[in-house]
Structure 1
Amino acid sequence: MRALEKWFEPVVIVSMLGAIIIAVFADVIARFAFSTSVSVANELARFCFVYMIYFGVSYAIRERRHMRVTVILDMLPDGMRRWVFALAELIFLIYSVAVCWLGVVITQQAFDRGKILSATEWPQGVLYAAIILSGALSAARLAHSLWRVVARGDTHLGPQMDI
C-alpha cells in the first residue's frame, strides 16, 4: 500500500507522457513517410495530456510543491503559522471537494447526453472523469496534509519526507 501511495501519481504521469510521445511520433511518421495520419493520435494525446495535468495537481499537493504565496505565513510566529497554514489547507480542501463534486456533475451530464469522442468513440465522460479522480485524490492528499498540520504541527512548506 505504501508503494502504491508513493508511486501512483508518478507512474500515471510518466505513462501518460510516454503515450503522448508515442502517439504524436507515430502520427508525424505516418504523415511524412506515408502521407496519411493515425486517426486516434491527436485525440489520444489530448486525453493523456488532460489526465497527466490533473494527476500532476494531486502529485504537487502531495509533494507540497503547488503554488502558494507564503509572504504573510513566513512573517508569523510558529504557533500562529500552524493555524493559518491549517486554515489555508482547509480552504484548499473545500475547493478540491467542490471540484470533485462538480466533476461528478459534468461527467454525469456528458454520459447522459451520450456524447462520444470522434476518433476513439469513447464516451466524452471518460475524459471528464479526470476531474473526479484528481479532485478526490487532491482532497485525500489535502486531508492528510491538514492532519499533519493539526496533529503534528508540521508547517514545512517543502516536499514531504515521510510517506
Structure 2
Amino acid sequence: MKFFRILDKVVLKIEEFILGYAVIIIALMVVGNALSRAIFSYSLSFANEVSQIAVIVATFMGISYAARKGRHISMSAFYDLAPFKVRKVVSTIIPFLVAIVLFVLAYYSYLYVLNVRDSGTVTSALQMPAYIIYIAIPLGFFLGGIQFLRNMIINIVRREDVYLGTDAKDYNDQEKTEIDEAAHL
C-alpha cells in the first residue's frame, strides 16, 4: 500500500508539473507571437504549433488531475438535492461508468497513435513526428480512467462521506460538516 501512495504522489507531482508548464508555454507562445507580429511585423512560424501541442497535452493530461481534485464537469442539479444515500450510490456508479468509457477511449486513441506513427506524419513547422504529440491523448484517458476508479473505490471504502474525487469531499457534505462544527462551538 505504501508503494501505491508514493506512486500516487509522484504521478500527482508529474501532472502538476506538466499542467503548469503547459499553461505557461501556451501563454508565452500566444503572447510572444502577438508581440512579434505587432512589433516586428513577423509571425513566429512555430508559435502556433507549440501552443496547439501544449493545449493538447494540458487538455488530456488534465483529465486525471481534474478527477482527482473533483473539478471535473458535472450536471449536479438533481444530485445536489438528493439525500445522502442517493448521492453515495450515484457517486459510486458514475465514476465506474466514466472509467469504462475512458479506458475504451484510451484503447481507440492508442490505435490512432499507432496509425499516425505508421503513416510517418510530421508537424509542419517543427517537423516533429506527430504521434509523439498524440501520446498524451491515450495516456490522459488511461490515467483519468484509473483516477475515476479510485474515486469509485474511495466512495465504497469510506462510507461516512461522499467524495467527488480522491482529494475532494462533496461540497454538500463539507457544508453540513461546517454547520455541525459551528453548532458545537
Which of 110, 125, 148 is equivalent to 1:104? 110
What are the within-5 Å matches in structure 2 for residues 10-159 of structure 1? 10-153=16-159, 154-157=161-164
The whole-number CA distance in structure 2 between the counterparts of 1:156 and 1:11 is 25
In structure 2, do the counterparts of structure 1 residues 72 and 114 end up closer, same or farther at CA, with 3 Å as the change threshold? Answer: same
The whole-number CA distance in structure 2 between the counterparts of 1:94 and 1:26 is 40
Q: Given the two structures, how large is their TM-score scaled by the length of structure 2?
A: 0.76
Please list the CA deviations of residues 133-155 of structure 1 after superposition, one character each: whole Å capped at 9, or x if unmatched. Answer: 11111011112111101122342
Q: Which moved more, 1:147-156 or 1:127-136?
A: 147-156
Give how far 1:102 is off.
1.2
The whole-number CA distance in structure 2 between the counterparts of 1:27 and 1:62 is 34
Give how far 1:21 is off.
1.8
Please list the CA deviations of residues 99-142 of structure 1 after superposition, one character each: whole Å capped at 9, or x if unmatched. Answer: 11111011111111111110011111122212111111101111
Check whether the contact 2:68–2:147 (CA below 8 A) recurs between aligned residues: yes
Q: Given the two structures, how large is their TM-score scaled by the length of structure 1?
A: 0.85
Alignment partner, residue 173 of structure 2:
none
Alignment partner, residue 172 of structure 2:
none
Unaligned runs of 5+ in 2: 1-5, 170-185
The whole-number CA distance in structure 2 between the counterparts of 1:73 and 1:25 is 41
Q: Which moved more, 1:5-14 or 1:152-161?
A: 152-161
CA RMSD in angstroms, aligned pairs only: 2.3
Check whether the contact 1:13–1:56 (CA below 8 A) recurs between aligned residues: yes
In structure 2, do the counterparts of structure 1 residues 17 and 54 end up closer, same or farther at CA, with 3 Å as the change threshold? Answer: same
The whole-number CA distance in structure 1 between the counterparts of 2:58 and 2:94 is 25
Q: In the alignment, residue 150 of structure 2 is paired with which amino acid?
A: H
The whole-number CA distance in structure 2 between the counterparts of 1:82 and 1:28 is 49
Check whether the contact 2:67–2:165 (CA below 8 A) recurs between aligned residues: no
Q: Percent identity?
A: 23
Give how far 1:87 is off.
1.2
Q: Which moved more, 1:136-145 or 1:34-43?
A: 34-43
Check whether the contact 1:65–1:159 (CA below 8 A) recurs between aligned residues: no
Q: Is the radius of gyration larger for structure 1 or structure 2?
A: 2
